[in-house]
């Protein structure tokens, strides 16, 4: 009986290359969990000399806490997590984090510079309240299905056919008739 030829080993066989399908989340940027970095604090918060004695771990933890506070204000308006944030959000995060750091280190409301810091924190909190209530809309990109910066995630989007002649009071401008279509 004739023998069949042996198959080539797996290493010798030509491999069939499969095209990898792109994953759904592959095109989306990485979600942000901390809205400011320690390098942003001298720009938006306070001078480096004021926090020079504070350990870097405490600075990171304070920034994470401030970001969490901002999340609680943004959660009512945007689909979390966020992918991009604007400079106003970074500034608010730095101001809130610096305030937390300096309260632990020592805070004197009678001093002139400390009063300025307290007013900046009040401004940041006021801004967060305005964002939560819908009076202000920061330029952020949330994780809703249609990623558009500054889009309010709680606003309904209505899609319908063309107008059929009804106005907002329920009156029609067309004469009555049967089988009116578009």
Tens digit of pLDDT for each residue in 64-94?
A: 999 999 999 999 899 899 999 999 999 999 9
**Residue 101 in contact with residue 54, Cβ under 8 Å?**
yes
Cβ–Cβ < 8 Å for 95, 45? yes
Residue 128 burial (C-beta neighbours within 10 Å; 0-12, 13-18, 19+):
buried
In whole angstroms, give the CA distance from residue 123 to residue 92.
9
Integer Cα distance of 50 and 108 in angstroms: 14
Give the residue with greater pLDDT, 122 vs 168: 122
pLDDT at 18 over 50: no
Give the H or E element holding residue 147.
none
Query: Is the N-terminal amide bond of 81 cis, ω within 30° of 0?
Result: yes
CA distance 102 to 84: 28
Q: How far from 145 is each of 19, 84, 87, CA to CA, in Å?
A: 26, 15, 24
Residue 52: band (very low, low, confident or very high) from pLDDT cuts 50, 70, 90: confident
Q: Judge whether residue 5 has pLDDT over 80.
A: no
The answer to whether 95 and 120 have CB atoms below 8 angstroms apart is yes
Does 35 have pLDDT greater than 90? yes
Q: Is the pLDDT of residue 118 over 90?
A: no
CB 8 within 8 A of CB 14: no
- In whole angstroms, what is the distance from residue 146 CA to residue 156 CA? 13
């Amino acid at each position: 009986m004739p023998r069949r030829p042996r198959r080539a080993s797996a290493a010798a066989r030509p491999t069939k290359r499969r095209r990898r399908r792109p994953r759904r989340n592959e095109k989306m940027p990485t979600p942000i969990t901390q809205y400011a970095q320690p390098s942003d604090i001298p720009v938006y918060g306070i001078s480096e000399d004021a926090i020079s004695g504070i350990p870097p771990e405490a600075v990171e933890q304070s920034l994470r806490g401030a970001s969490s506070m901002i999340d609680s204000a943004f959660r009512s308006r945007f689909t979390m997590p966020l992918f991009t944030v604007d400079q106003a959000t970074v500034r608010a995060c730095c101001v809130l984090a610096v305030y937390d750091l300096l309260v632990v280190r020592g805070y004197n409301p009678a001093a002139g510079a400390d009063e300025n810091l307290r007013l900046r924190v009040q401004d940041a909190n006021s801004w967060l309240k305005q964002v939560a209530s819908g009076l202000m809309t920061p330029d952020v990109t949330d994780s809703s299905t249609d990623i558009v910066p500054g889009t309010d995630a709680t606003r309904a989007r209505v899609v319908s056919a063309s107008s059929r002649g009804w106005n907002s009071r329920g009156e029609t401008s067309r004469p009555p008739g049967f089988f009116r279509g578009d």
